[in-house]
Structure 1
Amino acid sequence: MSRKRLTRRQFVAATAMSSAALITAPYVRGAHAAGKLAIGFWDHWVPGANKTSTELVNEWAAKEKVEISIDYISSQGNGIQLKIAAEGQAKSGHDILAMPTWWPHAQSDLLEPMNDVMEPLIKQNGEVNGTVQYLGKSGDKWLGVPATIGSQIKGPCSRIDLLKKHAGIDVQEMYPAGSPPKADNWTTDTFLKAAEACKKGGNPFGIGLGETTDSVDTAGAFFQAFGGQLVDGKGNITVKSDGVRQALEFYKKLIPFLPAGVASWDDSHNNKALVSGEASLIMNPPSAWAVAKRDAPQVAEQCWTHGFPVGPKGRFAPFLPYFWSVWNFSKNKPAAKSLLVYLSQPAAVERLVAASGGYDLPAFEKLTTLKTWAEEGPPKGTLFHYPNPFKHQTLSIAASPAPPKVAQQIYTQAILTKMCLRFHQGEAMEKTLAWAEGECEGYMRS
């Protein structure tokens, strides 16, 4: 954990600042417009991104006369998850803490309700996607504010040249910059044919089947494309369904077209496969492309980020949001809420997105067409479809719609990828399903 305080730069955003002042007024003006506030942000991998978030916080703090401290907490080695667990147990720590995906539900009893923040933000910025609602609410209680910083879609990042050469697919024509997708023929069947062609051409799809999030997230989107749910939203175990069987059959066909050793891949392997020039497609946010810009520009200029293939039950893409949550033991809740409103203003969001090079994604529907995604390159427009501006695909998370505390266990234990590997390695379908059913029964009891 590192503590950083950086010098503010001056920005001109008078109109947006006026809007921010109006919406923050109920929370900070008055006797509580001072004191201290401790913030724990995710430590961004993009150089300069932490600096921008610090500048925004300092601007707010100077205006509201609040003394702040900011810690940037690494996600490596589950650092941020360990910090969340430790503060929750001690009932002491930061006022605001960044929480990934499942963690607001895991700490729901210790979190301050954020309805008074979220309701006006939704009116201003538009609705949030279903995954944010699923992960960010417990009943009618908002557990946090969806954070721009760290939130991401893990969609296909394809090599323009290699897909065209090996599979005859023009991804720029299918997902044109500045225009709606023309991807009706981008189906799970087309995906399998392309994977086979690229493997034969020497540039296989870089899709893992390990136990870390990139592998699990990809499997989750494909399972949902076939309607495959292990547990439904009411908590019923639905492993032995046609959708799950179809998803397993799909993976059994796909795995022979993937690189050797994908069963042991972690989240770095697909990035390396793209940057090295080996892979013709990976499933990832723009981090691998950003590294390629620095280390392999000839690869980066051939990358195009776009949507998932559509299956029998629809087109799904993994969305992993971060949340900014406030502990119910915070000593300065009004100031914490005011800051989160400030960081969720369009002008602030635009600066955060630009600082991350388009990696970070706001959850609000009116903030998915910022200029950064249209202008980033090379090639220009490579990220245009990354934020799903035309709602072309349903943003989801693996193991949903199971009750979140059950889904978290399915997700962290990588049950989906383990099922795929067991079936691929020759285990009978019914035995694989029975194993997964037993695992889910255990999670339901715990």
Structure 2
Amino acid sequence: MSRKKLSRREFVAATALSSAALITAPYVRGAYAAGKLSMGFWDHWVPGANSASTELVNEWAAKEKVEVQIDYITSQGNKNLVTIAAEAQAKSGHDIFQMPTWWPQANAELLEPVNDIMEPLIKLNGDVNGTVKYLGQADGKWLGVPASVGSQIKGPCSRIDLMKKYANIDVQEMYPAGSPPKADNWTLDTFLKAAEACHKAGFPFGIGLGETSDSVDTAGAIFQSFGAQLVDAKGNLTVKTDAVRQSLDFYKKLLAFLPPDVSAWDDASNNKWLVAGKGAMIMNPPSAWAVAKRDAPQVAEQCWTHGFPAGPKGRFAPYLPFFWSIWSFSKNKEAAKSLLSFLSQPASIEKMVVASGGYDLPAYEKLTTLKVWEEIGPPKGTLYHYPNPYKHQTLSIAASPAPPKVAQQIYFQATLTKMCLRYYQGEGMEKTLAWAEGECEGFMRS
């Protein structure tokens, strides 16, 4: 087993580069007729999930007579992001790299177009959601193939018992397993009243206002439900609008009912909050529920994943996709495209979703009703509405629809949550808006 050491440098922005060597985690098979292919895959947090990807690559490689190497690269410490930056700088590395959310856009000039495989995949699997199109395309070029592995919705995971007892909301009745949602009354006003009731009962909603992804994703969905944008799709500043003001007013009310330390929460904080039995709701993919199954089964059996509350401009939910992208400097692009097509067949996708315990979400509309989400539990059906099978909500990402390279900076600088905190802590509305406008102007210049 060989592993090259990677120097660690704090990752701050999309353009950060590192001269670090590649991280490797070996998996090699030994057929040579059609050349070699290497891939950097995200190291899945779900035990055993990587094995499904390995088995599928193994199956394809045996058939195509290709020597393959898979390096599973962790996202802890941003090692996957630093590795992407290192390979982009060196113009050398893996043939295929599994890139999260913004990174195909950040590296668009260095990626091989995959239109030739995306078009037949969409015909086979159905159209992809708007967030995948927003993040996965540039100037008519597909920058990668949407990967089911790692892709997720960060929607509400509610405690059935606590929501029913203290907020008088039956989340199972509102989002019944096997049936369409009955959630017309599940609005931001209802959500705010439920947050207040659960707070008074001693079980506040666990919603972070920190600077990491979970906090930013929730803020993004709530802002979008008011129609609020800091920068529009054409690159115009749109900070000083009534929609943004309404979003800040809503968050000021909500913050009064959240745990007092939410401004310091990271992406682990809400998971721990739920597993410890402290709260009635968090916004998260099923990772917290999966940990509760192992560590706090009495909590897990009371969890129900469901849709976001609707605002004046609609119902939005944060969707964070991964992409399998091919570097333009790949030495075996033909084999890379063949493998990605194979990994995107319905049977392959279902195998990977099952291996993840239902965590992974395909982007294609025909693959949102797999049996795993109907059957997995406890309680049975807890993830039925997780993949949005009825298109009940618009899947989005915070800071969109701004041009992606501007939106990425808004996202990673946590401009939305910082605005909410500044206003909640007593700064005047117009001063908060002026600060955010200045931040966005800086992002647009850079």
| TM-score, L = length of structure 1 | 0.94
Rounded to whole Å, the distance in 1 between the matches of 2:355 and 2:301 is 20
Question: Which string of whole-angstrom CA distances, capped at 9 and with x for unpartnered residues, describes residues 323-377 of structure 1?
Answer: 0000000000000000000000000000000000000000000000000000010
Q: Match for 2:335: what amino acid?
A: A
Equivalence for 2:27: 5
Alignment of 1:71 with 2:71, yes or no, is yes
What are the equivalent positions in structure 2 for 1:166-315 lying under 5 Å apart?
Answer: 166-315=166-315
Give, in angstroms, the shift of residue 3 of structure 1: 1.4
What are the equivalent positions in structure 2 for 1:21-32 lying under 5 Å apart?
Answer: none
Identity of aligned residues (%): 78
Alignment of 1:337 with 2:337, yes or no, is yes
Q: Aligned to 1:205, what secondary structure does the other structure show? A: coil
Rounded to whole Å, the distance in 2 between the matches of 1:363 and 1:252 is 34
What are the equivalent positions in structure 2 for 1:340-359 lying under 5 Å apart?
Answer: 340-359=340-359
Q: Aligned to 1:288, what secondary structure does the other structure show? A: helix
Rounded to whole Å, the distance in 2 between the matches of 1:184 and 1:4 is 50
Rounded to whole Å, the distance in 1 between the matches of 2:76 and 2:384 is 29
Question: Which string of whole-angstrom CA distances, capped at 9 and with x for unpartnered residues, describes residues 117-142 of structure 1?
Answer: 10000011000000000000002100
Structure 1 regions of 5+ residues with no counterpart? 8-31
Give, in angstroms, the shift of residue 5 of structure 1: 3.0
Give, in angstroms, the shift of residue 268 of structure 1: 0.4
Rounded to whole Å, the distance in 2 between the matches of 1:301 and 1:282 is 15
Equivalence for 1:16: none
* Alignment: residue pair count: 422
What are the equivalent positions in structure 2 for 1:119-138 lying under 5 Å apart?
Answer: 119-138=119-138
Equivalence for 1:96: 96
Give, in angstroms, the shift of residue 313 of structure 1: 0.2
Equivalence for 1:163: 163
Alignment of 1:380 with 2:380, yes or no, is yes
Equivalence for 1:415: 415
Question: Which string of whole-angstrom CA distances, capped at 9 and with x for unpartnered residues, describes residues 214-242 of structure 1?
Answer: 00000000000001100000000000011
Give, in angstroms, the shift of residue 106 of structure 1: 0.4
Equivalence for 1:10: none
Q: Aligned to 2:92, what secondary structure does the other structure show? A: coil
Rounded to whole Å, the distance in 2 between the matches of 1:443 and 1:382 is 40
C-alpha contact 2:160 2:302 (8 A) present in aligned 1: yes
Rounded to whole Å, the distance in 1 between the matches of 2:404 and 2:233 is 9
Equivalence for 1:323: 323
Give, in angstroms, the shift of residue 4 of structure 1: 4.0
Structure 2 regions of 5+ residues with no counterpart? 1-22
Rounded to whole Å, the distance in 1 between the matches of 2:220 and 2:271 is 19
Rounded to whole Å, the distance in 1 between the matches of 2:338 and 2:373 is 28
C-alpha contact 1:6 1:51 (8 A) present in aligned 2: no
Equivalence for 2:58: 58
C-alpha contact 1:126 1:366 (8 A) present in aligned 2: yes
C-alpha contact 1:35 1:66 (8 A) present in aligned 2: yes
C-alpha contact 2:28 2:68 (8 A) present in aligned 1: no
Alignment of 1:40 with 2:40, yes or no, is yes
Q: Match for 2:166: what amino acid?
A: H
Rounded to whole Å, the distance in 2 between the matches of 1:133 and 1:5 is 32
C-alpha contact 1:6 1:55 (8 A) present in aligned 2: no
Question: Which string of whole-angstrom CA distances, capped at 9 and with x for unpartnered residues, describes residues 8-67 of structure 1?
Answer: xxxxxxxxxxxxxxxxxxxxxxxx971000010000000000011000000000000000
Change (3 A) 1:251 1:3: same
Q: Match for 2:140: what amino acid?
A: D
Alignment of 1:433 with 2:395, yes or no, is no
| TM-score, L = length of structure 2 | 0.94
CA RMSD after TM alignment: 1.0
